[in-house]
Amino acid sequence: MSNESSEGMPGQPDRSPEDPTGSRASRRVTHDMKHATVVIFGASGDLCQRKLMPALYTLCQEGFLPEDFAIVGVARSQKSDEVFREEMRAAVQEHGRLGLDEQTWSRFGSRLHYRSGDLADPASYERLREAIDEVEGERRSESVRLYYLAIPPSWFPVTLQNLSTSGLSTKEHADRVRVVVEKPFGEDLESAAVLNRQVHEAFEERQVFRIDHYLGKETVQNILVFRLANGIFEPLWNRRYVDHVQITVAETIGVESRGAYFDKAGIMRDIVQNHMLQLLCLVGMEVPARFTAEHVRNEKVKVLMSLSPMREEDVKTSVARGQYAEGEVDGQRVPAYRYEPSVDARSSTETFVALRAFVDNWRWAGVPFYLRAGKRMCARTTEITISFKKPPLALFKLAHESLPDPNVLIMQIQPEEGISLRVGSKRPGSRFAIDPVELAFNYATSFGDAPPEAYERLLIDAINGDSTLFAREDEVEYAWRFISPIHEFWRTTEHCPVHPYWAGSWGPDAADRIINRDGRAWRNEGPGKTAGTDH
């Protein structure tokens, strides 16, 4: 368990009950933090160029970085500071949310530094130490330092070990030295536990920030605000009023350039174990005693501990996996998964999974949580749907040819972020007919600006030492305790087939059978509404 105090970590901004996640203005660095150094391992990689550097630049542009900061990129290739700055300028120009401002870039670009090195070579870390000492100068003893491991998981162990042996992790200054670890956090329970031990050899738990970019999205953060800052919803957020919950992560893209990685991981490891279970935790968690990292993460862990374990029979009846076949997505013909680059032509890796889960606690007993994630689906959407129970008395049954639809709360996370509530209303006219209508808001139209990128929020939180939106070690391991038995049953039983589904559909029929068996249906509302077909 984390050893953070209930008062939060040093440098962590206070939150009031009226603003539990902190407004955009309150996310500025704390007044006593004047110096910060961000070290990015893997600075030549796609993550750095598409996400990290544009996010750091935007934070600088909006005044969220400390007045004195430095960014040191580390990668194997040889290049000068000037070449690195030009590459990062192009990355910001292409991927930055607010575009490139010359005055801001002049300040930001001058703070960029680069050091080449082999992550397996201890000498590289000695040279890195010299570079950090050089850019920090006299502020070395008071600067916050953030190491970001934007590298493949296979490089985590040796990098962590060298950070420790070189003294760069400096546990004696745990209040101002931190490390950000990208997913995946292991590939099963055993490997996740090993990774946690390796991390702790270099860093204390309070120094570790396991990042899941989904938790930086505005709508995800707004789940708790929506529940806890509005008195009309939390009293309904339980088994008495909620019929079921659906969480969908659907992508129209295939595996693109990630074929080699994805073919070993599958969508259960790539999306369900982290993104989707995090969303489930935020929907299902109890109200924390206080809004601190410790209290919030305690409640999330309780949800994972309460997930009903998957037995072999549950896997057979409540889990369906699929793999996309050739089809049409957005008007383009796309190949089957097995014909994607770097994918085994005989692969049985799942590109789709659907499952029914139960949270066995007082609040949610008997309420099914239906989760599904898939690639090459007919629409790109990530959403959480809370379906409420129907009224106990059908007062309008005689006057209306069919019963009104149940109320549904929809939290749209992407591609557009917003929340809508579907209610029944009488259609205008002399005929008594009840139609569903939506009360909705969209972040971009309601607040005048597009929401910030997830990495912007998460990076400034890590710099500030606020771990609320990051996974804790026990959180990761309890998630794997739920997922790993499913993989084990898939590996050892012949009764869990991989169902083909057409690219451009909503997945295989086997997924529909899981939810239809309970008298419910998936919320398939996108460009296409045709269910997938096993074939």
pLDDT in tens, 249-262: 999 999 988 889 99
Q: Report if residue 527 sits inside a domain.
A: no
Same domain, 166 and 287: no
What is the spatial distance between Cα 169 and Cα 203, in angstroms, rounded to a whole number? 6
**What one-character-per-residue DSSP string does 471-508 give?**
B-HHHHHHHHHHHHHHHHHHHH-SS--EEEEETTBS--
SS3 354: strand
Which two structure tokens, joined as six digits, stand for 154? 């296979």
Which of the 8 DSSP states describes residue 515?
Answer: H
Most confident of 52-56, 407-411, 524-528: 52-56
Which of the 8 DSSP states describes residue 30?
Answer: P
pLDDT at 485: 94
Distances (CA, A) of 137 to 276, 277, 438: 43, 43, 57
Which two structure tokens, joined as six digits, stand for 447? 């607040």
**Active-site residue, selected from the candidate residues 275, 400, 487, 535:** 275
Q: Report if residue 310 sits inside a domain.
A: yes
User: Span 282-288, mean pLDDT?
Assistant: 95
What's the number of domains the chain is made of? 2
**What one-character-per-residue DSSP string does 239-260 give?**
TTTEEEEEEEEE-S---GGGHH
pLDDT at 230: 86
Q: Report if residue 13 sits inside a domain.
A: no
Helix (H) or strand (E) run with residue 266 in it = helix 259-267
Neighbour tally for 157: CB within 10 Å? 14
* Enclosing domain of residue 175: 35-182
Closest by alpha carbon to 334, among 354, 355, 320, 351?
A: 351
Give, in degrees to the nearest 5, the angle at Cα 153 between 215 and 283: 20
Please name the residue ranges forming H helices in 276-396: 277-284, 293-306, 312-318
Same domain, 426 and 314: yes
* 3-state SS string for 107-144: HHHCCEEEEECCCCCHHHHHHHHHHHHHHHHHHHHCCE
pTM (two decimals): 0.87
Is the CB of residue 352 less than 8 Å from the CB of residue 327?
no
Mean pLDDT of the chain: 87
Separation of CA 416 from chain center? 16
Q: Report if residue 288 sits inside a domain.
A: yes
Structural Rg of the chain based on CA atoms: 24
Same domain, 178 and 222: no
What is the spatial distance between Cα 405 and Cα 422, in angstroms, rounded to a whole number? 9
State pLDDT tens for residues 108-154.
999 999 999 999 999 999 999 999 999 988 776 678 999 999 999 99
When pLDDT is cut at 50, 70 and 90, the band that residue 7 belongs to is: very low
pLDDT at 222: 82
What is the spatial distance between Cα 23 and Cα 451, in angstroms, rounded to a whole number? 12
Same domain, 418 and 273: yes
Which two structure tokens, joined as six digits, stand for 410? 């929809």
Q: Specify the length of the chain in residues.
A: 535
| Residues in a beta bridge with 423 | 437
Residue 528 reports pLDDT greater than 70: no
Give, in degrees to the nearest 5, the angle at Cα 268 between 241 and 252: 85
Q: Which residues contact 168 (CB under 8 A, 6 or more apart)?
A: 125, 128, 129, 132, 147
pLDDT at 137: 81
Same domain, 41 and 125: yes
Is the CB of residue 436 less than 8 Å from the CB of residue 424?
yes
pLDDT at 391: 77
Four-residue CA torsion sign, 36, 42, 47, 49: positive
Which of the 8 DSSP states describes residue 350?
Answer: -
Same domain, 464 and 384: yes
Q: Which of 106-120, 180-194, 215-229, 499-513 has the lowest mean pLDDT?
A: 215-229
Same domain, 221 and 170: no
Residue 8 reports pLDDT greater than 50: no
Cis peptide before 415 (omega within 30 of 0): yes
In b/e form, how buried is each residue of 95-127, taking b as 16+ CB within 10 angstroms? Answer: ebbeebeeebbeebbebbbbbbbebeeeebbee
Residue 195 reports pLDDT greater than 60: yes
Same domain, 312 and 396: yes
Half-sphere exposure of 157 (CA within 13 A, CB side): 8
Residue 370 reports pLDDT greater than 50: yes
pLDDT at 488: 93
Same domain, 284 and 396: yes
Residue at a domain's end among 131, 164, 182: 182
What is the spatial distance between Cα 202 and Cα 179, in angstroms, rounded to a whole number? 10
pLDDT at 398: 54
pLDDT at 24: 45
Same domain, 496 and 352: yes
Helix (H) or strand (E) run with residue 75 in it = strand 68-75
Residue at a domain's end among 136, 162, 182: 182
Neighbour tally for 177: CB within 10 Å? 21
Residue 62's CATH number? 3.40.50.720
Same domain, 267 and 171: no
Q: Which long-range contacts (CB under 8 A, 24 or more apart) does 121-128 make?
A: 122/162, 122/165, 122/166, 124/74, 124/162, 125/162, 125/163, 125/165, 125/166, 125/168, 126/166, 128/39, 128/72, 128/74, 128/166, 128/168
Residue at a domain's end among 182, 205, 235: 182
Annotation says 535 is catalytic? no
Q: Report if residue 11 sits inside a domain.
A: no
Half-sphere exposure of 264 (CA within 13 A, CB side): 9
Q: Report if residue 24 sits inside a domain.
A: no
Is the CB of residue 243 less than 8 Å from the CB of residue 387?
yes
Which of the 8 DSSP states describes residue 213?
Answer: G
Neighbour tally for 342: CB within 10 Å? 12
Same domain, 150 and 227: no
Q: Which of 10-14, 298-302, 383-387 has the lowest mean pLDDT?
A: 10-14
Is the CB of residue 267 less than 8 Å from the CB of residue 351?
yes
Residue 274's CATH number? 3.30.360.10
Helix (H) or strand (E) run with residue 442 in it = strand 434-442
Q: Report if residue 327 sits inside a domain.
A: yes
Please name the residue ranges forming H helices in 137-175: 156-165
Phi, psi of 431 (to 5 degrees): -80, 135
Q: Report if residue 150 sits inside a domain.
A: yes
